[in-house]
Each structure stands twice: as structure tokens, then as C-alpha cells.
Chain A
Amino acid sequence: MSNAISSLFAGFKKSPLGDLGGLGFKGLSSDKITKAVLLLSSFIILLVAGGMVYSLVEGAIPAFKEFGVGFIFSNNWNPTSGSENYGALPFIAGTIITSVLALLISFPLSFSASLFLGEYYRGTKMAKVLGMMVDLLAGIPSIVYGLWAFYVLRPFLISLGLPNQGFGVFTASIILAIMIIPYATSLSNEIIAMVPNELKEAAYSLGATKSEVIINVTIPSARSGIIAGYILSFGRALGETMAVTMIIGNSNVVPDGLFSTGNTMASVIANQFGEADGLKLSSLIAIGLLLFLLTGIINAIGKFIIKRWPKIIRFYFQNRI
């Protein structure tokens, strides 16, 4: 492998630099250099991504060999040597439950914020300030969210009478919801702002009120963009690690209720990889692979909807107007 890479570099060195030596600066247009550099860097990215998938699959093979497809559906996580038995269900369940809950909790907030920013108060000073705040939320490192959840949110929820000392799926979902608000907001806000004014003006000229315009024109036109925004933020919630692991309770069971403790895929990997070896390590890598596939699929769906957005809109107008 390393031989292949070095020979590749050697090949690159030969051609552009050879030109430089033989023909002076004439042969070496900046265009060619840029092309070579771009090709090389995109090839490296491809290599890294490919290598990552390869090593995940390779590392996960022993776990799937041992437990088969049952690995995904087993809720056993017993690391005691001699009776080792691993299943990913508690973590898959925890991941999906927290992410879906986070999406549900964040939806009303981020949707109103995007309407506020993209429609009602577009261009005003207030919208600018709010927009900045939303972007600021995106810039806060996840460990800081975790700290805040641990020291501020958790005591608050305990005082409201939440069981399990405030640890669990519910608290984790709240903190996840806050973390994904900026992603959902800024994307839907941009798309709402992109809805052509002519359309809205036409609706106004027919006597529609502002809320009628929003419900009948703005939201339908921006619908797929908004959905894509939420799907992407859902993908982000799936992979979130640090803030969740600090607050979810890290008990390796399928959560049996909203306030139950649990664990997520990213969190169990972060917690246990250090001391893991053999079958356990392979099981953790297999969970990593599953998480990778899950977020990959979610992101692909989101991208697909974004890509098809203009077409969908056109289709919509052709049929309605």
C-alpha cells in the first residue's frame, strides 16, 4: 500500500516538475499545477474515505461472524470474559429514540425561528441579532453543551421531579434538540427567504393575509428544503457523542420509557474503546459501522431532497398554477 502511494507521488513529481526543468516556465501553466494539486488532494480524500470504510468493515467482521445479523437485534451486552455476548440493539434504540425526540423538541423552536428570520422580520436588526445567536449556538463545542446539561439542566430537571437523578433519554434529547436547532434553522431560513417575491406578491394581490401567504405559498414552496434541513440535523443528532454521554446515564439497556437511562452508539464507543480488545473491540467497530451506515443513509436522503428541490418546486407550480 505504502509503495503504491510513494510511486504515485513519484509519478506526480516526474511530470509537472519535469516540464519545469525541460521547458522552463512555458510548459508549467498555473492551470496545470492547479489541476495536478486538485487531483492529488481529491484522490487523497477518496483514499482516506475508502480506507475508513475498509477498516470499519474489516474490524467488524469478527463480531458479525460470531453473532450474525442477530448482533443488530440482540439486547445483550455482557463483556465478562467467558460469557462474552454483544448486541447493538440497546445502542441503536438509544440513538434513534434520542435523535427522534430531539427532532420533535427542536422542531417548533427552529421552525418558528426560521419563519421569524426568513419571513416576518427578514432584514431587520432584530432578525440579524437572532440570526447571529443561532449561528453562535452552532459554534459552541459539544463538550460545553455537555457541561451545561450536567451542571445546569440536570439539577433543574431534578427539581421538576425527573427520576433517575435527571440522567436519561429525556435530558439527552433536550440537549440534543438545542444542539441541532442552528442547523435546522439556518437551512430552512435560507430556503424560506429564497421563495420568489413575485409569488408572494401575487398572493397578496389576491387579498391573502400574511399568515395565508405563509401557509399557502411560502411553506409549500420551501417544503422540501425545510424537510432536507431537518433530515440533515437529524443526521447530526445521530452522531453526537460527548454531550450525550455525559447525561444519558450510560446503562447498556434498551430504554423502557421517556425518563429511562440508556446509551447511544456514539457514546458506547467513546466510553469503551479504551479497554476493549478482541470480540468486544470488533463489536464496537461493528456499532461504528452501523452508525456510519445510518448517518450515511440519512444524509443521502437529505442531499437527494435538496438536489431535487428546484424540480419538485417546478413540478408543484406546473400542477398548481
Chain B
Amino acid sequence: MKQLAILILAVILLQACSSSTNKKADEKSANISNVSLTAAGATFPMPYYNMVFKTYGDKTGTQITYGGIGSGGGIRSLTDKVVDFGATDAYLEDVQMTEMPAEIVHIPTVLGAVVIAYNLEGIDGLKLSSELLEKIFMGEITKWNDSKIKSINPDLNLPDLAITVIVRSDGSGTTHIFSDYMTKVSSKWADKVGTGKSLQWPVGMGAKGNPGVAGTISQTQGAVGYIGSEYAFAMKIQTAQLQNSSGNFVLPTIETVSAAAQGEIPADTRIMLTNSTDPNSYPISGFTWIILYKEQNYNNRTKEQALATVKLLDWLVSEEAQGEAEKVHYAPLPVSAVEKAKTILHGVTFDGTPLL
């Protein structure tokens, strides 16, 4: 009796499997443009990507799956050719470019900021200079009512509370942007800590991912840490005003982050925008990139797949997609960056002929 039941179950399962595959095949033959794309990489722009990829999917029928596995994971996935494109917050250095199996290109997609989030009850509008950041994140200032913090924030009633520094325990593009800024503004930092996706921190406790750091800060009195702006805004955590290279204290807003990208951008768009000289700029701003192979015919990819990839990216830098960025607290690309991205996309080929 039992065996009979198992047999029936097996038959039903087989039936179910075969019918679903049939259905898939039907759909495919009916609409070839129904391509699905796979991408993976940075978590920093993930809220933006999730939103616009869905919009694009609804509009065109191209299904895009994005895995937020970190910038390093995005680069590795592209190296292993398991994704159609990768995403990273740190552009590939020349050495890394040569280590890739084929030539790749960078497409900037959006501007983001790394904010300094803190948790001090009733104290809004904290101002921090680069010198204070260096001393806090290197463990030289340990109390919130330290005279050095007070001298910049004379109006604030800072408590006698220990500073708890929260950093990323996992490797991260956010850490890269933050440490890139710190390296530019502090020779001591450059000497002792340096730039990287993960660092040897002098002080601090680690939490995993932007949400992890945001959560830990909001749960911990006296905590301070750096997070991707979107995550801080979404969780309504207090953020500090930072002093930029012109001496102005600025909050991370769409305008101040956009201001950071007003300068000259190289043709391959590989530039760090931290510590911008623009007087209105927020100092820890940066591009986030999508990376893909310049020659799209690899690993038996179809031309449809390649075309869908390039078309998506072309749309991603268009006004329509860029207009959505502000909804999730990212700043749209400046015109010069969009132009350069379009030029790069026109250079992407399939079997040597440009796709666009």
C-alpha cells in the first residue's frame, strides 16, 4: 500500500516537472526578447538597483536578478563569467584589470555618499572635521565630551559618554570609499591604516553589512560609524555634518553629493570623488559602477543576452532611470558622466561589432 502511494506520488511529481518545463519552452519560443539577466555585486547601490531593475523588468519584460554579495563578490562573479554584469563600489585598479580574463569596462550608475552616523539622544546637528574623524576612528578621542569635539560643536550639550566605534566586519566598498577619504585627509591614517575594502582597525567593533552597522548604531548609545547613505536615511539614524576641503560643514544630501562630481571625469570614469574641491560638496561621495566585458560573446552567450545587457545599462544612465535615484537617496549622475558612460557602452561589442 505504502509503495503504491510512493509510486503515485512519483508519477505526480514527474508529471508536474515535465508540464512546467513544457510551459517554459512555450514562453521562450513565443517571445525571444524575454531574456533574463543575472548580476551580482555591491550592496551599497542595491536599494537603487532593486527599484530600477524592477521598473525596467515591468517595462520591457527583461528579468534581472541582482545578488547583493559585495563588490569583491561582484568582481569575482564576472571573472568566473557566471553573471552578465558585476557591480562594484571600488573601480578596478590597473593591476586588477589585467588579471581579468578579458577587457572590461566600467559604467558609473549613480552617486552615493558614505555618512557618519551616530547615536546620541537629543543631540542633532553634530559637526565633525576630518581631524576629529581621524582621532575618533583611531581611538585617540574616546569620550563624546572631549574638548576637541566641543570646540567645533559649542552649541551642543555633549554627554560624558564613551564613544563606541562601529565598523564593517566584512569586506566592503563602503569601507573602501571611507578609507579612501581618510587616507586623502590624514597622513597618519594613510600611514597606519590605509585604504581597502577591509582594514586592520585600531579600535572599534565590527558588524556585518550596511544594515548590520546601521542596526548596531541605532541600538547602541554613544555609537558612531560609517554607512551607505541610503541605509542611514531609511533607518532614520542621526548623521553628522562633515567639513569639506573648503572648510564648510555639509550634510549628505542629493545636492551636496552631486556637487562632488562636478569636476573633470576621466574617459574610463575610474575616479574616486572623495574630498572634492567643490565648496558645496559632501566629502565622502563616490560613484558606484557596473562592470562588464567589452566583448560580449563569451561563454556561449546569445546575442539577445548581450543586447539585453547593453540596453539595460544604456537605460540605467538615461534620464528616466537617473530620475528615480533620488527616491532612494542617491544622487543622479552629472551630465558629463552620463555622456562618458554612453560612449563606453557604444564601444561594447558582440563578435567585434558594436551592439548599440
Contacts and interface: CB of A to CB of B under 8 A. Distances in A.
Interface of A: 76-83, 150-151, 154-155, 164-165, 167, 245, 249-252, 261, 263, 270-272, 274-277, 280
Nearest to B206: A250
Nearest to B215: A150
A154 B164 CA distance: 15
Contacts of A80: 193-196, 199-200
Nearest to A163: B162
Interface of B: 69-73, 76, 164, 169-172, 193-201, 204-208, 219-223
Q: Which 10 A-B pairs have the closest CB atoms?
A: A275-B171, A250-B206, A275-B72, A250-B169, A80-B194, A274-B70, A249-B205, A78-B200, A271-B169, A79-B198
A80 B179 CA distance: 11
A251 B72 contact: no
Prevailing SS type, chain B contact patch: loop
A77 B200 contact: yes
B170 A275 contact: yes
Contacts of B221: 165
Contact of A249 (B195, B196, B206): B206
Given A274-B69, A274-B170, A275-B70, A83 B206 contact: no
Nearest to B75: A277
A165 B164 contact: yes
Nearest to A249: B205
A300 B62 CA distance: 53
A165 B72 contact: no
18 contacts: A76-B200, A79-B198, A80-B195, A80-B199, A80-B200, A150-B219, A164-B164, A167-B205, A250-B208, A251-B204, A251-B206, A261-B205, A272-B170, A272-B171, A275-B197, A276-B72, A277-B72, A280-B198
A276 B71 CA distance: 10
Contact of B194 (A83, A252, A276): A83
A77 B69 CA distance: 22
Prevailing SS type, chain A contact patch: loop
A162 to B, nearest CB: 12
A167 B167 CA distance: 13
Nearest to A82: B194
B170 A271 contact: yes
Nearest to B90: A275
Nearest to B68: A274
B79 to A, nearest CB: 9
B205 A274 contact: no
Given A251-B206, A261-B205, A277-B76, A165 B171 contact: no
A277 B219 CA distance: 32
Contacts of B223: 165
A78 B193 CA distance: 9
Contacts of A274: 69-70, 72-73, 170-171
A275 B73 contact: yes
Nearest to A274: B70
Contacts of B208: 245, 250, 270-271
A261 B73 CA distance: 28
Given A245-B208, A274-B170, A251 B193 contact: no
Contacts of B205: 164-165, 167, 249-251, 261
Given A164-B205, A280-B198, 8 more contacts: A79-B171, A154-B219, A251-B201, A251-B205, A263-B169, A271-B208, A275-B71, A277-B76
Most chain-A Cβ atoms within 10 A of its Cβ — which of B71, B206, B220, B222? B206
Contacts of B200: 76-80, 252
